[in-house]
Chains A and B, each alone.
Chain A
Amino acid sequence: MIQKKICLLGASGVGKTSLVKQFVEGIFNEKYLTTIGVKVDKKVIELTDKSVQLMIWDLEGIDRYCGFQAKYLRGASAYAIITDQTRSQSLVEGIEIHNMAREVTDAPAVLIVNKADLDVAWHWSEKEVNAYRQDFQGYFNTSAKSGSEVEAFFSCIAKLASD
């Protein structure tokens, strides 16, 4: 069995945990997130030629005042930066986190704009968002609530991690 470690990063409240909640099998309580800053879940993804077991490290929300736990990124085959389309700040912080992550890993990264079920309420134009997208190997506009694009996101990151 091929196993790949991936990390979910992003500012607090962007919905990282919600994104994986209905989609993975886990045994650990969410309080791990607040105590040690990470919770590990797993999900087997069927790709066209093989199946990959993703070990999904859901990292605690990072804001500008708390440090970035670079160790958690070690050995990750890919990571995702999650942002929230109702908060402009979440993209700024997401890009900062992405830049910090780039210092310790060159693994492929995916940009996620979450909460697609709500109306767009940030001041970023499509053009600006597209400019940021260039730094990433994948982009998805997901909704943890409706499940829209969630599966596509995990399939894409599994594929990026396996290549």
Chain B
Amino acid sequence: MSSSPKSNGNRQETNTSAEQQMQALRELVLGKDGQYVKQHMHSHARELVGSVVVEALKDRQKSDDALEQVLVPTVEKSVESSVKNHSDQFIGHLYPLVGRLVRKSVTAFLSEFLEKTNQLLEHSLTPKGISWRIKAWHAGVSFSQYVASKTFAFRVEQVLLIHRDAGILLNSVANDENQATDADLVSGMLTAINDFVSDSFTSDSAENEQHLAVVKTDDFTLVIERGPQLMLVAAVTGNIPQDISTKFQITNEKIHSLYNKEIADFQGDTAPFDETEGLLRACLLSELKPEHEEQRKKPVLALFFILLLLILAGFYGYQRHKQNQLSDLVSTLNDEPGILITELETQGLSRVYAEVLRDPQAQVIDNWLSTNQIASENVAIFERQYLSLEPQIVKKRLEGVLEKYPQLSLNWEKDLPILKGTLANIQKLELTTELMTIPGLQNISDIVEPVLVEELDTLEDDNPEILNALFEINTAKIERTQIEFELGKDILTHESKRQLDALANYLRSAITLSKKLKLNVGLIIMGASDSSGSAQFNQALSRKRAEVTQQYLSSIGIDPGYLNAIGLGVVEIKATGDSARKVIFNVVKFKTE
């Protein structure tokens, strides 16, 4: 059924007016452009959004993780400003955790260390490691690269994010930053090559444009994911799994959606794309070969190596301890009388070396070692002789001398030797002479004094040897006598007179003996003075002292014919600078015939 053009026109008019009415009604109820609804919504926006905001966030998080990408920078910035402004509160909260954090970090460090050591040992010491090294050298690649190729089923070595048109590198990450080559130049060239391929293999229609998706070489595979503006290129070693390209694609899409604005505004500044590093790093995937996964769990070699180190350290420590003990023991050698350690040092892990001075009277060192149960192979001792003045050693020397005189008994009062017994006069004189040779022995005349003298018949004998010996002894005694004077005086003290009495006895004996030996004797009495006063006075004083002595000896019955007094003047002992205020004696003898 057809209608006239007029009725058609009427219907159109009716429709138009109905629409207009509807529009008027809509505006009446909802306001112009839904203004009333918007106003109403706006005034309740807070309640409306508040009631669903958590659920909405959850739903979005479920569908993809874009929310995370948006929230992370915000949260990071909030935390940063919070730490800056409320550091005290942060410290309060974190303080109890620090201990646990440190423990965990130390544990993590140790286990990583263990693992690395294990890898190192495995790759260096085992035959497999050595053969890998040789093969890597043959193949002209670095050892770490070779190990990676052998250890990983696949590994993404480097990921590049490239601006598609300009071929400019926006960001790149690599497993081993040292291996990363000039990524910016590679990016440019890769874009050029892609353009070349696209141009060479594309038919006329632009829709069918061909692009490189995968470039494969002997060593690695380049996986190229093209987005509308960006290109994600991953260099992968090993056998790439099927799904890896999907992973790159998702990442590329994510970057496109997150950096939409930065891509649109791109004018060559790559700084805004620095933040893509996290997403790109997530693409540095790898998968160990099954046999290596198993091995990783048991770092047997590393444990063995560390155990070996511990054993060695223990052994070393034990040896050191033993050596120190031995050294301490050897140092007690110093306490032995007549032994002095001048140097003590340890040698190697077990030996001790010592340099000592030893008095011949002291203990023999080998005997001391065996007494103290010290193994002589661990101790080296270099010995030098010396004379000790220690009381114990002096005692030993005295006892040694007295062994020749069994008639005498020796007792000790503290450190003073007390001699008892009777000796012939000549023996007593011999004993005295011998005792005088003992270094460190004091007051010999006091020691010898208690020894009684028995007159020997042999004295009457005319054995010239004995006579001569007796004469010499008496002469020695006379010559050892020295008479001291006070400053500037020439008076004999009581002590001096006692000395001169003894001297007179020796002189008489000597005179008697000289007659038997047919000798002429004479006593030279020499007076000396110190340097105080004039030379003339001193000359006179020294002579006076000699004369006083001569007079005293005459007064106690010595024939003045034997006595000759002379004055020496000032006598100075140059070595010490001391001056002598004394009278000294000398016996002169000569044959009568």
Q: Which residues from chain A sit less than 8 Å from chain B, CB to CB?
A: 1-5, 26-28, 32, 36-42, 52-53, 55, 57, 69, 71-72, 74-77, 161-162
Per-residue interface assignment for chain B, residues 177 to 190, with 1 indicating a CB less than 8 Å from any chain A CB and 0 otherwise:
00001101100110
Instruction: Decide: A36 near B192, CB < 8 A? Known: A74-B166, A75-B163.
Output: yes
A-B contact pairs, 29 of them (CB 8 A): A1-B270, A1-B271, A2-B268, A3-B166, A3-B168, A4-B168, A4-B268, A5-B166, A27-B185, A32-B189, A36-B193, A38-B192, A38-B196, A40-B185, A40-B188, A42-B184, A42-B185, A55-B168, A55-B184, A57-B188, A57-B192, A69-B196, A71-B195, A71-B198, A71-B199, A72-B195, A75-B164, A75-B165, A162-B268
Which of B165, B182, B184 makes the CB contact (< 8 A) with A3?
B184
Residues 117 to 135 of chain B near chain A (Cβ within 8 Å): none
Per-residue interface assignment for chain B, residues 137 to 169, with 1 indicating a CB less than 8 Å from any chain A CB and 0 otherwise:
000000000000000000000000001111111
For A41, the closest partner residue in chain B by CB is: B185
How long is the Cα–Cα vector from A98 to B268 in the complex, in angstroms?
23
For A71, the closest partner residue in chain B by CB is: B195
Instruction: Decide: A26 near B185, CB < 8 A? Known: A3-B270, A4-B268, A40-B192.
Output: yes
Q: Is the CB of B268 within 8 A of A69?
A: no
For A77, the closest partner residue in chain B by CB is: B268
Kindly list chain B residues whose C-beta atoms are within 8 Å of the C-beta of A53.
184
Q: Is the CB of A69 within 8 A of B269?
A: no
Which of B165, B196, B269 makes the CB contact (< 8 A) with A74?
B165
For A50, the closest partner residue in chain B by CB is: B269
How long is the Cα–Cα vector from A1 to B169 in the complex, in angstroms?
11
Q: Is the CB of B166 within 8 A of A36?
A: no
Shortest distance in angstroms between B98's beta carbon and chain A's nearest beta carbon?
39
Shortest distance in angstroms between A56's beta carbon and chain B's nearest beta carbon?
9
Q: Is the CB of A75 within 8 A of B167?
A: yes
Shortest distance in angstroms between A106's beta carbon and chain B's nearest beta carbon?
14
Given A4-B168, A28-B185, A39-B189, 7 extra CB contacts under 8 A: A3-B268, A27-B181, A40-B188, A71-B195, A71-B199, A75-B163, A75-B164
How long is the Cα–Cα vector from A122 to B163 in the complex, in angstroms?
41
How long is the Cα–Cα vector from A71 to B191 in the complex, in angstroms?
10
Shortest distance in angstroms between B85's beta carbon and chain A's nearest beta carbon?
33
Shortest distance in angstroms between B276's beta carbon and chain A's nearest beta carbon?
15
How long is the Cα–Cα vector from A52 to B269 in the complex, in angstroms?
9
Q: Is the CB of B199 within 8 A of A69?
A: yes
For A54, the closest partner residue in chain B by CB is: B268
Kindly list chain A residues whose C-beta atoms are within 8 Å of the C-beta of B268.
2-4, 52, 77, 161-162
Kindly list chain B residues whose C-beta atoms are within 8 Å of the C-beta of A42.
182, 184-185, 188
How long is the Cα–Cα vector from A52 to B181 in the complex, in angstroms?
20
The interface size of chain B toward A, counting residues with CB under 8 Å, comes to: 24
Instruction: Decide: A5 near B167, CB < 8 A? Known: A27-B181, A28-B185, A42-B185.
Output: yes
Q: Is the CB of A27 within 8 A of B182?
A: yes
How long is the Cα–Cα vector from A162 to B263 in the complex, in angstroms?
17
Shortest distance in angstroms between B268's beta carbon and chain A's nearest beta carbon?
5
Q: Is the CB of B192 within 8 A of A72?
A: yes
How long is the Cα–Cα vector from A137 to B185 in the complex, in angstroms?
27
Kindly list chain B residues whose C-beta atoms are within 8 Å of the C-beta of A55.
166-168, 184-185, 188
Kindly list chain B residues whose C-beta atoms are within 8 Å of the C-beta of A76.
166
Shortest distance in angstroms between A48's beta carbon and chain B's nearest beta carbon?
17
How long is the Cα–Cα vector from A104 to B47 in the complex, in angstroms?
54
How long is the Cα–Cα vector from A116 to B164 in the complex, in angstroms?
37
How long is the Cα–Cα vector from A151 to B185 in the complex, in angstroms?
21
Shortest distance in angstroms between A113's beta carbon and chain B's nearest beta carbon?
27
Q: Is the CB of B196 within 8 A of A37?
A: yes
For A35, the closest partner residue in chain B by CB is: B196
Q: Is the CB of A69 within 8 A of B270?
A: no
Shortest distance in angstroms between B53's beta carbon and chain A's nearest beta carbon?
40
Kindly list chain A residues whose C-beta atoms are within 8 Å of the C-beta of B164.
75
Shortest distance in angstroms between A147's beta carbon and chain B's nearest beta carbon?
23
How long is the Cα–Cα vector from A37 to B31 in the complex, in angstroms?
65
Q: Is the CB of A75 within 8 A of B196?
A: no
For B166, the closest partner residue in chain A by CB is: A75
Kindly list chain A residues whose C-beta atoms are within 8 Å of the C-beta of B271.
1
Shortest distance in angstroms between A32's beta carbon and chain B's nearest beta carbon?
7
Shortest distance in angstroms between B224's beta carbon and chain A's nearest beta carbon?
16
Kindly list chain B residues whose C-beta atoms are within 8 Å of the C-beta of A36.
192-193, 196
How long is the Cα–Cα vector from A71 to B166 in the complex, in angstroms?
10
Give 10 closest A-B pairs by Cβ, nearest first: A75-B166, A75-B165, A40-B188, A71-B195, A36-B196, A5-B166, A74-B165, A38-B192, A3-B168, A4-B268
Kindly list chain A residues whose C-beta atoms are within 8 Å of the C-beta of B184.
3, 42, 53, 55
How long is the Cα–Cα vector from A42 to B169 in the complex, in angstroms?
12
How long is the Cα–Cα vector from A1 to B267 in the complex, in angstroms?
11
Shortest distance in angstroms between B317's beta carbon and chain A's nearest beta carbon?
56
How long is the Cα–Cα vector from A39 to B198 in the complex, in angstroms?
17
How long is the Cα–Cα vector from A41 to B198 in the complex, in angstroms?
22
Shortest distance in angstroms between A10's beta carbon and chain B's nearest beta carbon?
17
How long is the Cα–Cα vector from A136 to B101 in the complex, in angstroms?
65
How long is the Cα–Cα vector from A32 to B193 in the complex, in angstroms?
10
How long is the Cα–Cα vector from A4 to B266 in the complex, in angstroms?
11
Kindly list chain B residues whose C-beta atoms are within 8 Å of the C-beta of A27.
181-182, 185
For A38, the closest partner residue in chain B by CB is: B192
For B184, the closest partner residue in chain A by CB is: A42
Kindly list chain B residues whose C-beta atoms are within 8 Å of the C-beta of A161.
268
Shortest distance in angstroms between A108's beta carbon and chain B's nearest beta carbon?
14
For B195, the closest partner residue in chain A by CB is: A71
For A74, the closest partner residue in chain B by CB is: B165
Shortest distance in angstroms between B263's beta carbon and chain A's nearest beta carbon?
12
Q: Is the CB of B269 within 8 A of A40?
A: no
Which of B181, B185, B193 has the most chain A CB within a 10 Å cutoff?
A: B185
For A162, the closest partner residue in chain B by CB is: B268
How long is the Cα–Cα vector from A39 to B193 in the complex, in angstroms?
10
Kindly list chain B residues whose C-beta atoms are within 8 Å of the C-beta of A77.
166, 268
Shortest distance in angstroms between B29's beta carbon and chain A's nearest beta carbon?
53
How long is the Cα–Cα vector from A76 to B198 in the complex, in angstroms?
18
How long is the Cα–Cα vector from A40 to B198 in the complex, in angstroms?
18
Q: Is the CB of B199 within 8 A of A5?
A: no
Q: Is the CB of A75 within 8 A of B168?
A: yes
How long is the Cα–Cα vector from A1 to B271 in the complex, in angstroms?
6
How long is the Cα–Cα vector from A77 to B165 in the complex, in angstroms?
11
For B209, the closest partner residue in chain A by CB is: A71
Shortest distance in angstroms between A43's beta carbon and chain B's nearest beta carbon?
11
Q: Is the CB of B195 within 8 A of A40?
A: no
How long is the Cα–Cα vector from A71 to B269 in the complex, in angstroms?
22
Residues 265 to 282 of chain B near chain A (Cβ within 8 Å): 267-271
Kindly list chain A residues whose C-beta atoms are within 8 Å of the C-beta of B169.
3
How long is the Cα–Cα vector from A96 to B562 in the complex, in angstroms?
151
Kindly list chain A residues whose C-beta atoms are within 8 Å of the C-beta of B195.
69, 71-72, 74
